[in-house]
Amino acid sequence: MKIIVLVLLFLAAHFSLTPFAPAKTGEARFYWPFAAGTRSWLPWAGGLPSQSGSVLTPLLAGAAGLAFLAAAACLLGWAVPSGWFRPLVGVGLGASGLLYLLYAGPFALLPLALDAFMLWGLLAQRWTPALLNG
C-alpha cells in the first residue's frame, strides 16, 4: 500500500506544480492540465505564475506541490517527522482542491478525483506512515 500512496502523492504533486511549467497554448492534456493560455473562471483570482497579476495560483500550486512532496518524504522516512504526514496531506488536498476548483474544466477532473481518493484514504482509512509501511 505504501508504494500506491507514494505514487498518488507524486502524481498529486505533479498535477499541482504544472502551473509553473504550463504546456504550450491549447496543448493541455489530462496528464498536463495547464497550458500557457489557461485562465481561472474567476477574473479576480489572477492567472498562471507567468501571467501578470497572479498571486493566488502560484500560492495554491506551490503549497499543494510542496505539501505532497513533503508528505512523500515523510512516508519514506526522509527528514520529515511521521506525525506531520496527515497534516501535510490535508494541506496539500485543500490547496490542490481550491486550485482545481478555480480552473474547473475537463482537465481538472483527474486531479480532483485523485484528491477525493486521497481524502477518503486520509479520513475513512486513517492513513498514517505506520499503517502504510506495514
35-85 pLDDT tens trace: 988 888 887 777 888 777 788 999 999 999 999 999 999 999 999 999 999
Whole-number pLDDT of residue 87: 97
DSSP three-state, residue 54:
coil
- The helix (run of H) or strand (run of E) holding residue 129 is helix 129-132
- The helix (run of H) or strand (run of E) holding residue 130 is helix 129-132
- The mean pLDDT value for 24-41 works out to 89
The contacts of residue 53 (CB under 8 Å, 6+ apart) are 46, 47
**Axis-axis angle for helices 109-123, 2-17 (nearest 10):** 140
Angle at 75 between CA 74 and CA 79, to 5 degrees: 30
For 100-122, how does the pLDDT look when each residue is reduced to its tens digit (9 = 90+)? 999 999 999 999 999 999 999 99
Could you tell me the three cell numbers for 120?
A: 477518503
Whole-number pLDDT of residue 48: 84
CA dist., res. 94 & res. 116, Å (int)? 11
Residue in this structure with the C-alpha cell 497550458, named with its chain if needed? 35
DSSP three-state, residue 23:
strand
Q: Please, what sign has the CA dihedral across residues 17, 106, 28, 37?
A: negative
Q: Please, where are the H alpha helices in 2-128?
A: 2-17, 56-76, 85-102, 109-123
Whole-number pLDDT of residue 49: 85
